[in-house]
Amino acid sequence: MSSRKKLLGLDDPNVITQHDRGASHYIQDHPFPSSSAPGQRDGGRLENAVSKVSDQLYKARVRYPKASHNAYIPNRELREIMSRQNVLSVVMSLPCFGHLPRGAKERVCDRILSKDRPCWRLLAALLLADRADKLAALLEDSVSDQCLPFACEASHCRVGNHSQHRSLEELNEKHRDEVSRWSYAVSAPYFKSSPGQHFHLVLDSDDILPITKIGTIDTSNSPSHQKSGHEVGNAANGGFGEVRKVTIDSSHYSFDSPAPGHPVSEPEQYFALKRLYFPDRENFNRELSSLLSVKGRQDEHLIKLLTTFEVKNEHGSTFYLLFPWAEGDLWLCWKRNDAESKRIPLGPWMAEQCHRIANVLMHFHNEREKLVRGYDDIEPNERELYGRHGDLKADNILWFPGPSRSILVLADFGLGRLHTIISRSKVDPLSIEKTATYRAPEFDLKGRFISRASDIFSLGCMYLEFVTWYLEGWESVSQTFVEARSDIDVHGINSDIFFHIEGFNSDAERAIIKPKVIEWINRLKANPRCSQYILQFLDLIEKDMLEPDSRRRANSSTLVPKLELLSETCRRDSDFWKDAPGVSPLKVDVKLIVAVQTERLFKLARRMVSPRDGAFHWFHRLSAAIASMLQPFLSQI
């Protein structure tokens, strides 16, 4: 194992593995007031003070799932109940502290609520288990919240990574069970994210996740899910993992990256909880390292990993990843938005989103190339195979509708998924791609090299569907276009792929774009609503992206500037994206290039020359002069 490999995934120095269920982060984010508020002079009778707080704790419990016996107490309610006044009242009332003067009892209260080794969760668990009288012995035995939860068995209690505590062993089996159960109830995990770091929690099978709701997931919009027969349920299943739509108690998380277009905290914020099917740490590390490689990019079009955790059991660990929840995928976006009635306002938005998705893919390709070099078991000749996304389709473009505009986000790009796919195919790593609608021709051609160019072909297929929706609406993109291009392929399968193999299995075999697809492109170009933007976008899709020969196909670095030009022109000139069939495409191109390149002069001045350098002002004035001279020309074309 190389030293480079050790720095990936959970071994990355920026990944912090926590065994305290995030409790240390919670107390840092929500410290108790440092000033000592006065408590009651009389703690009252033992049964009154203790039973009052115990009853409050019991009523605050939340069952998860609702039909189960498992329950947790949310941090918010737990903190409110375990106030200094209540804690001091309990301490003053307990016989085990009866011999202490008031000042000493207040110091016990200070210790319970301290920041370094707090014990307020411990006290809460003892109150719920009706064993608060054991608090003094446990404190003397150095038991604290850091020891929670207690995993008690018939003969002893296990205390995580800590040493055994004799005071726990002195409890009888029934009391140990009760203390153990309630110690989990007051220790539900607290999830946190922070720029530059990633936190991974280690839990066990008795831990209770602070989930308040599991929502239903409707995947009936996607043709691929319709083929599988899975449409509506509590989980979206794939070959690599299961995703659930969940809400988490808001006092159990603090995330710096909210869902795109939404504030950090909403009254009811959903998350996507992904459970990975594979139990091995190596594949999880691949998935995690891939997600972390792009986590630092401040790009709203790239899905953000919020946190991860694992649940240990006797067979190993089950791994989970938490993401912002999207309203749906691109299919749902198309279905919910009637393109024909909203077509004009959606033109610049579509141009921007298509450019941004391609831009994210370009940066992803660059980061993935660096990442795969860190794995010894990926040969140099396999780096292009692993250096791609591998599953670009409308299902993996997430839709986040916002108050001002919707945002499309690239997702499902984990290296663990891709590695699993390739490993399962054993002898032929290409064989399992045979049913993929957006697959590139090189997957069906003998001896062809699989590279990141296959992602560009897949993206071109999706963009053609995007234009279909824009011009003809939901029914056309979800049914008419699918039926128009479907036929029996070389594998004997009724397939809706975008290409056809001529001379299959012969020395003269070659790939061509299906004539039906070319006919469809021409149909869109002939649409009376087709603007100059759509004409040029369709040309780009057909000639640069759906090129059957991967060696001649555009790469992401050459594709992105062209999409940026289209997007910029839509932003600057409404005639470009509105219905304007009489405008010359050549003139629009000239106007586009001049406008965008002028803006780039200003960016170049800011990037290459220091503002404190006299040359900066000279370069900036020159750029402004060029822009000024070009304005009359721009107004005439």
164, HSE (Cβ side, Cα atoms, 13 Å): 9
> Which tokens go with 69?
């016996």
pLDDT of res. 46: 47
- What single DSSP character describes residue 451? -
Q: Residue 565 is part of a domain; what is its CATH number?
A: 1.10.510.10
Position of tokens 């480079």?
4
Is the previous residue joined to 279 through a cis bond, with omega within 30 degrees of 0?
no
Asked if 215 and 152 sit in the same domain, the reply is no
580 burial level (CB within 10 Å; 0-12, 13-18, 19+) = middle
Q: Which of 521, 540, 573 is the last residue of a domain?
A: 573
Asked if 142 and 195 sit in the same domain, the reply is no
Q: Residue 247 is part of a domain; what is its CATH number?
A: 3.30.200.20
Q: Is residue 535 part of a domain?
A: yes
What averages of pLDDT result for each successive group of 10 residues across the chain (637 residues)?
A: 56 91 92 61 60 96 81 96 94 92 94 92 96 93 90 59 68 86 96 92 94 79 54 58 92 79 61 88 82 74 91 91 92 83 75 95 72 57 61 90 86 58 47 70 80 90 97 95 91 88 81 96 95 97 96 92 96 84 50 56 51 55 56 46
Q: Is residue 583 part of a domain?
A: no
Phi and psi at residue 201, to the nearest 5°: -95, 140
Asked if 28 and 162 sit in the same domain, the reply is yes
Asked if 429 and 387 sit in the same domain, the reply is yes
Q: Which domain holds residue 238?
A: 191-324
Q: Is residue 139 part of a domain?
A: yes
Q: Which of 324, 355, 375 is the last residue of a domain?
A: 324
Asked if 178 and 204 sit in the same domain, the reply is no
Longest dimension (CA), the chain: 97
Q: Is residue 581 part of a domain?
A: no
Asked if 389 and 518 sit in the same domain, the reply is yes
CA–CA separation, 326 vs 353, rounded Å? 16
Q: Is residue 616 part of a domain?
A: yes
Asked if 378 and 520 sit in the same domain, the reply is yes
Asked if 426 and 408 sit in the same domain, the reply is yes
- Spatial contact of 18 and 199, defined as CB atoms under 8 Å apart: yes
Q: Is residue 4 part of a domain?
A: no
189, HSE (Cβ side, Cα atoms, 13 Å): 23
Asked if 48 and 110 sit in the same domain, the reply is yes
Q: Which of 573, 607, 624 is the last residue of a domain?
A: 573
Asked if 516 and 607 sit in the same domain, the reply is no
pLDDT of res. 592: 55
pTM of the shown model: 0.82
3-state secondary structure at position 47: helix
Q: Is residue 11 part of a domain?
A: no
Q: How many structural domains compose the chain?
A: 4
User: Nearest CA to 115 among 54, 46, 30?
Assistant: 30
Q: Is residue 584 part of a domain?
A: no
Would residue 626 be called left, alpha or beta, if left means φ above 0 and alpha means ψ between -120 and 50 degrees?
Answer: alpha
pLDDT of res. 102: 92
DSSP string, 223-288: HHHHHHT--EESEEE-SSEEEEEEEE-GGGEE-SS--TTS-S--TT-EEEEEEES---HHHHHHHH
The continuous run of DSSP H or E covering 407 comes out as strand 406-410
Asked if 217 and 347 sit in the same domain, the reply is no
The continuous run of DSSP H or E covering 521 comes out as helix 515-525
DSSP string, 317-338: EEEEEEEEPPSEEHHHHHHHS-
Asked if 436 and 565 sit in the same domain, the reply is yes
